[in-house]
Amino acid sequence: MRRYSVAVAMALCVLSAWTGTPAGAKAPAGSVDLGTQAIPAAIGADPTPDSQHPARMAVLHIPTGARNGHPVEINGVAYLASGAGPHPTLLLLHGLPGNEKNLDLAQAVRRAGWNVVTLNYRGSWGSPGSFRFANNPEDAAAALAYLRDPAHAQDMGIATDRLVIAGHSMGAWTAVHTAAKDGALAGLILISMGDIGVIAHLPHDKLVALAADNRKSLAGVTPESMAKEMESHADAFATAPLTARLTGTPLLALTSDDGLASHTDALVAGIRAHGGNRITTGHAATDHGWSDHRIALEAAVINWLQKLGN
């Protein structure tokens, strides 16, 4: 935990210097007041057990990497809701390196009647292959394809027309790229997005330092190689060019006092500039990991998910 705190603190100083956003500054008020929102019952109460269709977990082995000639099966876990289904399903993506995986959020969303699927990108946390930022959207797309496969959807009780993707930090950046290319998702959730396309423009030594404090659970990389990948792919990693392709996707965009709020604000502004209006925003005066706002985070996500399709 200490290493995570040091890494985040360093990142905030570096990123706020680049973006011009003080680490303690509050973003403009969002459309959801996270302090006064209703707290769903699923936050504090288990569902009534269903003996015929109980809640369960499933270990997943998700094929990916075939496009670059190195196919592997990455690790995933499905938190499957009770009830006959099929259930709407949330694909939840972790950040860099993924110390905070938001599994409390996964469990709360499952109690609210949704399936939740998590994964570890190639080269992270024991998944085979080498970690590359560029691989992450491909891994997320592979997971969506896996969930849409008729056999898998039937086995796990997945309503394939109600798939939502969510991500925290780098996972939110991954979710943006995945959703823009997919075009058929029922929704997109961003939690304190760290836009790798913006971060890539930091001075080289700052990128190396940032990578050095976040690579311990990643395979096949060095701080130098991670920095060079970001620099060489800065244009491809940018989210600004994707905004026109996200206008029809319902979006929940949550920010915090971590120096990164401007990344999400810019994306939201770009979507709105292209005519997108299915956007809900919210801001919490908390850190990058939402350490003292976990209930508020769970409530915001569940309340928004419950309104989808209404």
DSSP 78-138: EEEPSSSS-EEEEEEE--SS-S---HHHHHHHHHTT-EEEEE--TTBTT-SS---TTHHHH
Burial of 49 (0-12, 13-18, 19+ CB in 10 A): exposed
Write the pLDDT tens digit of every residue in 230-244: 999 999 999 999 999
Give residue-wise pLDDT tens across range 147-169.
Answer: 999 999 999 999 999 999 999 99
**Banded pLDDT at 310 (limits 50, 70, 90):** low
DSSP assigned state of 279: E
> What is the C-alpha to C-alpha distance for residues 118 and 78, in angstroms, rounded to an integer?
6
**Within a 10 A sphere around the Cβ of 20, how many other Cβ atoms?**
9
pTM given for the model: 0.92
Given a contact cutoff of 8 angstroms between Cβ atoms, the answer to whether 153 and 160 are in contact is: yes
- Evaluate the omega torsion of the peptide bond into residue 86 and state whether it is cis, within 30 degrees of 0: yes
pLDDT digits (tens, 9 = 90+) for 187-229: 999 999 999 999 999 999 999 999 998 888 999 999 999 999 9
- β-pairing verdict for 115-119 and 72-80: antiparallel
In the three-class reduction of DSSP (H, G, I as helix; E, B as strand; rest coil), residue 76 is classed as strand
| Rounded-to-integer distance, Cα 16 and Cα 5, Å | 16
The pLDDT mean for the chain works out to 91
Q: Which pLDDT score, from 0 to 100, does residue 275 have? A: 96
What would the DSSP string read from start to end of 197-220?
Answer: HHHTTS-HHHHHHHHHTS-TTBSS
Q: What pLDDT score was predicted for residue 5?
A: 37
Residue 9 pLDDT: 39
Q: How confident is the model at residue 6 (pLDDT cuts 50, 70, 90)?
A: very low
